[in-house]
Amino acid sequence: MKFDTPASRNPIDRLKVVGQPTARIDGPLKTTGTATYAYEQHNAAPGAAYGYIVGAGIAKGRIESIDVDRAKAAPGVLGIVTAANAGKLGVGAFYVARALAGPDVDHYHQAVAIVVAETFEQARAAAHLVRVRYARGEGSFDLEQARGKKPAQQPLQQKRFADTAVGDFDGAFAAAPVTLDATYTTPDHGHAMMEPHATIAAWHGDKLTLWTAIQLVSWGMRDVAKTLDIPKENIRIVSPYIGGGFGGKGSILADAVLAAVAAKQIGRPVKVTLQRALMFNNTTHRAATIQRIRIGAGNDGRITAIGHESWSGNLGNQPEFATAPTRMLYAGANRMTRLRVAHLDLPEANAMRAPGETPGMMALEIAMDEMAEKLGLDPVAFRILNDTLVDPEAPQRPFSKRQFVECLQTGAERFGWKARSARPAMRREGRWMIGMGVAAAIRGAPVAKSAASVRLDNRGTVIVETDMTDIGTGSYTIIAQTAAEMLGVGLDKVTVRLGDSTFPEGAGSGGQWGAASSTAGVYAACVKLREMIAQRLGMTSTDIEFIGGRVRAGGLSRPLLDAVAAGELVAQDFMEYGDLARRFAQQTFGAHFAEVAVDSATGEIRIRRMLAVCAAGRILNPLAARSQIIGGMTMGAGAALMEELVVDKRIGFFVNHDLASYEVPVHADIPHQEVIFLDEVDPTAGPLKAKGVGELGISGVPAAIANAVYNATGIRVRDYPVTLDKLLDRLPRQAT
């Protein structure tokens, strides 16, 4: 099925199942411990041995020798894989980092060996006996220094990373009566998902099966084939449950590659999980940025010039797309964006929840507050004044839906924004200084081709299969809701099977495209199944309805089960898209509000309350969508106040590479969170008129909190995270 014209009324619009706040159907499995995550597929691969990865002890240089004799002689050891016996390993299309070092070392904790033994403890003990001699090389680990060495520009063929220019930015900025020119920095961030990267690999002849934690099964298939140089048809990936991904499990990483190589070597299944202390430097992370934002405006507050430049570092040539929100969010006739990437010998930087928008808005939305203050305008009013209903870079292209102003207005009213003091550091409650902050939210609403099969069996059960994954986002539930709505049955009559490459290829989880895309694929398959059912029942009316387990048309009503009296029916189809995304700017919008308290003596920051107002098309499941938004808000609080991968710039690694020292928010850090979804359907987005919400929840949150800290204290921090040491020497003097 092809979606190339805006959606009209269809069976989803009944909203008997879709759109209802439905509890996660996979919840009981997860709360009882019976959901089988990658490392727990014991029955699928009995007799699996255990692999333990040895990470490089340098960040840049060469391996001179590896002594594995003592490790090989250790109890239970079955084999040791190094570059010397692994065979040729390539790299996939998504990640650029090599899974196994040798002879060159590209970054700290890059795998140099995997030790395989009968038990995990034996593998771990033997791994400590591996001795590696290195020739340390000179590496580049400091973004500030590296960006001064003429970092490479992104290739122009990657259109979204190219420089942009509309009008005469330099001239308009120079002529503007009110200007801001400020630099902001964001640090490296780690995913820190609950489930570590884990894989079980088993070979059956030349056929490889991987039970692995991965967000996009089809990407994994492609990248396993490229890395191991084996036919794609010889690979199967199984990933039914995933304990968090946030972009860090987009495709295969060292655990999957080395499990496969080790299993081939020892002739039996091998299971590998990356120990937590290895994950931060071995896998991917969000890149640090240095961002310069310039805004010029007239005395009336209207933006006349806006420019955003961002520098980030990476092993390859992919930048953090921090300029993305500036390109779409505010009006302004004269515009400029530039992305630059410097080579750094740190672990690879790649996608992390709302890549681009998260760090970009950490800078942009502070700059908007600073500009509002210069103009003497309320921050909410300033944002509303500079709203636009068309793509600012292509005015002939309207937004498909844009309720940005409504998000701001609704949030301001609900949050009690009128009580905010326009002058900072004016509101006190005892020793606590109280402030409010606001920030916009924007995130793209892409869709991707997605397929599914839908089967109606002789018991009246609807079985849906697609290789779409559920990374804790509720895919099982919204897919079941879609099938139930289309076929007029209850959720108890729907079974959903996900995360297996033998199923039709779905969109995968990532980029905020999963929900809208995967349900559209299920919709397409259900349309085909409805046609098959109608044909078998002899119903050809155009007003056919599937309601309450019955099929009705032209005054006739038949039980759905009658359609399978002669045998079950199976339909498979996919949804692909025309040019609507080129004709319309498809985005999701929101507004975040935060109230904080800052201790006037110690600088301790406490978030008191948070509100998100979101406009993201039809909300398929308000309960699951709220969970996604508050999860994003929590991650945003971490980015604002505590999260930072600290780089040792002498030897090139993330020092705080465990959960004891990489600080993330806990329950005590997060107060009451409120989420409001505005009524919205977007017919250009797909047949369900829905968009994703998973990444909208974090976009803008850190800046809302940073702006609240400024409103409380009068201290502007442009260097994230906003920690008390950046406030202490500037806090108001205490009375003696």
Report the C-alpha gap between 229 and 657 in whole angstroms.
Answer: 32
C-alpha to C-alpha distances, 101 to 84, 105, 139, 262, 343, nearest whole angstrom: 10, 5, 16, 15, 18
C-alpha to C-alpha distances, 553 to 285, 539, 558, nearest whole angstrom: 55, 7, 9
Show the tokens assigned to 546.
């599937």
Provide the 8-state DSSP code for 399: B
Q: List strand residue ranges (DSSP E) for 27-124, in order.
A: 49-55, 61-67, 77-81, 104-105, 111-117
Cα atoms in the 13 Å half-sphere on the side-chain side of 685? 30
Q: Would you say the C-alpha torsion 32, 33, 37, 40 has a positive or negative sign? A: negative
Report the C-alpha gap between 547 and 557 in whole angstroms.
Answer: 10
Query: Quick one: 44 exposed, middle or buried, by C-beta within 10 A (0-12, 13-18, 19+)?
Result: middle
Report the C-alpha gap between 516 and 680 in whole angstroms.
Answer: 14
Residue pair 568/419 in contact by the 8 Å Cβ criterion: no
C-alpha to C-alpha distances, 498 to 396, 450, 563, 605, nearest whole angstrom: 40, 13, 26, 42
Share of the chain residues as helix, strand and coil, in percent rounded to the nearest 5: 30, 30, 45
Show the tokens assigned to 89.
């390993």
Q: Which residues of 655-680 are buried (b: 16+ CB within 10 A; e: fewer)?
A: ebbeeeebbbbeeebeeebbbbbbeb
- 505 catalytic per annotation: no
Q: What value, to the nearest 5°, has the Cα angle with vertex 159 and ends 158 and 165?
A: 135
Q: Which residues of 523-559 are buried (b: 16+ CB within 10 A; e: fewer)?
A: bbbbbbbbeebbebbebeeeebebeeebbbbeeeebe
Q: Which of 424, 589, 499, 588 is nearest to 249 (CA)?
A: 499
H-type helices in 497-647, by residue range?
514-537, 580-583, 622-641
Residue pair 195/244 in contact by the 8 Å Cβ criterion: yes
Residue pair 286/352 in contact by the 8 Å Cβ criterion: yes
Options 309, 365, 680, 695, the catalytic residue: 695
Show the tokens assigned to 587.
């985005």
List the beta bridge partners of residue 394.
391
Report the C-alpha gap between 328 and 443 in whole angstroms.
Answer: 10
Give the pairing of strands 550-553 and 556-559.
antiparallel
Report the C-alpha gap between 698 and 612 in whole angstroms.
Answer: 10
- End-to-end Cα distance, the chain: 74
Q: Is the peptide bond before 721 cis (omega within 30 degrees of 0)?
A: yes
Q: Report the 10 Å Cβ neighbour count for 26.
A: 20
Residue pair 214/444 in contact by the 8 Å Cβ criterion: no
**Phi, psi angles (nearest 5°) of residue 534:** -60, -40
Residues whose CB falls within 8 Å of the CB of residue 269, separated by 6 or more in sequence, listed in order: 45, 46, 47, 48, 49, 200, 201, 202, 263
- Among all chains, which residue has been given the structure tokens 């308290």? 597
Active site residues: 695
